[in-house]
Amino acid sequence: MVEAVPIRVPLADPVADNRSLAQDLTLAAAGVLATGPYILGPSVRAFEQAFAHWLGGYDAVGTASGTDALVLALLGAGVGPGDEVIAPAHTAGPTVAAIRIIGALPVLVDIDPATFCLGPDQVAAALGPRVKAVVAVHLYGRPAPIVALADLCQRHRLALIEDCAQAAGATVDGRRVGSFGTAGCFSFYPTKNLGGVGDGGCVVSTDAEFLERVRSLRTYGWSRPQYAEYAGGRCSRLDELQAAMLAVKLPLLDAWNDRRRSVAERYLEAFHRLPLRLPESGAGERSVYHLFVVRSDRRDALEQFLREHGIGSGRHYPWPIHHQPGLAAGARIPQPLTVTEQISREILSLPLYYAITDDQVETVISIVGRFFDS
């Protein structure tokens, strides 16, 4: 039997991230337990307002997950069955699952090799009469070219939904992503830059009427109690416990993102002589390095070497969307997905999280270096 190698540095470690806050998080949870109400009480509302203020948006609506934030934002923007929504073929599955959940059809387009995100040229080439919206994903924490995408969507009267699940705090010319489009959708999955102790998400927008629809849609489509005004309503609320704990963490998010950036800078400095393609940043952009993704044509061997030395790594994502039958059926694919195909064979995510220690970072650097020396 092959003995499992003990993990020295995991890919992510939300328990370690939360350790220094354990007392405050416990108190926040105990407060909810003691006072209630347990659904849509004061903690959710306070967190929504704090998050919207932090983002520079008008308001926010807390949802049960990041996937549901996308679902509700698409529905709130008037996208429905049979409409087309442009999305990247290289993204987390839930970006496209959300489009399918509401009966809309994805139009899958290639990514820009520099940003790993949708580019305006790819979107422009995919437009058609049934397209109602574009979902731009700020992948790995790096902003998509959102100013150009917003301009294109405005000219073509399309809703622009920003999938900010991986990019809470990323900025373009000092402005946070999630504030450029019709709506910004966030996930508070535990490993995200702002992570809960369970699932959660939210939709942010400056459009009060749109947010009112989203608010109704997360509670059965009700515009008043027991009166369903909007079709497609569901039960998808951020819960009080998560909201109370997220409110403890939100004031720390910018500092936590700074720590991620300084780890990323150390990796960039240490790896720049190795035969690896490293993440880049564009002018005016600040990534929050949700993931630190390198590219190598020896990816599989590097992955195995890291595993054998107790270093966690990940493939984000191993299967492009158009290779997953549960997501791809009926999708329109207007152009070859060349970049998506190529990078899915080369990408590897290295350990990066708020609480990673300097020693752990140096361990990762030394083991990656040994792989290329050998």
Q: What is the CA radius of gyration of the chain?
A: 21
Q: Is 166 a binder of ligand PLP (CB under 6 A)? A: yes
- Measured distance CA(63)–CA(102) in Å, rounded: 16
Who's near 35: CB < 8 A, 6+ residues apart?
Answer: 41
Q: Is 239 in the site for ligand PLP (CB under 6 A)?
A: no
Distance CA 198, CA 200 (A): 7
- For ligand PLP, the binding residue among 17, 61, 86, 95 (CB under 6 A) is 95
d(CA 323, CA 374): 34
Asked if residue 257 lies in contact with residue 193, where contact means CB atoms within 8 angstroms, the answer is yes
Rounded Cα distance between 287 and 290, Å, is 8
Here's the x/- map for ligand PLP, 179-218, by CB under 6 A: it reads as --------x-x---------x-x-----------------
Closest CA to 188 of 51, 43, 80, 327: 51
The answer to whether residue 236 forms part of the interface with ligand PLP (CB under 6 A) is: no
Query: With contacts defined by CB under 6 A, how many residues of the chain interact with ligand PLP?
Result: 15
Using the contact rule CB under 6 A, the part of the chain among 34-42, 86-94, 275-283, 355-363 near ligand PLP is 86-94
Report if residue 165 touches ligand PLP, rule: CB under 6 A.
yes
| Helix/strand/coil for 120 | helix
**Rounded CA separation 233/254 (Å):** 34
352: Cβ–Cβ under 8 A, 6 or more apart, which residues? 12, 260, 263, 264, 267, 289, 291, 292
Query: Min. distance of Cβ 137 from ligand PLP in angstroms?
Result: 5
Interface segment toward ligand PLP; rule CB under 6 A; list 48-56, 64-72, 100-108, 305-313? 64-72
Residue 66 interacting with ligand PLP (CB under 6 A): yes
Does residue number 65 form part of the binding site for ligand PLP (CB under 6 A)? yes
DSSP 350: E
When the beta carbons of 137 and 367 are compared against ligand PLP, the nearer one is 137
Residues numbered 13 to 52 that lie near ligand PLP (CB under 6 A) are none
Which one of residues 94, 141, 169, 233 is an interface residue with ligand PLP (CB under 6 A)? 94
Site residues for ligand PLP per CB under 6 A:
65-67, 91-92, 94-95, 137, 163, 165-166, 187, 189, 199, 201
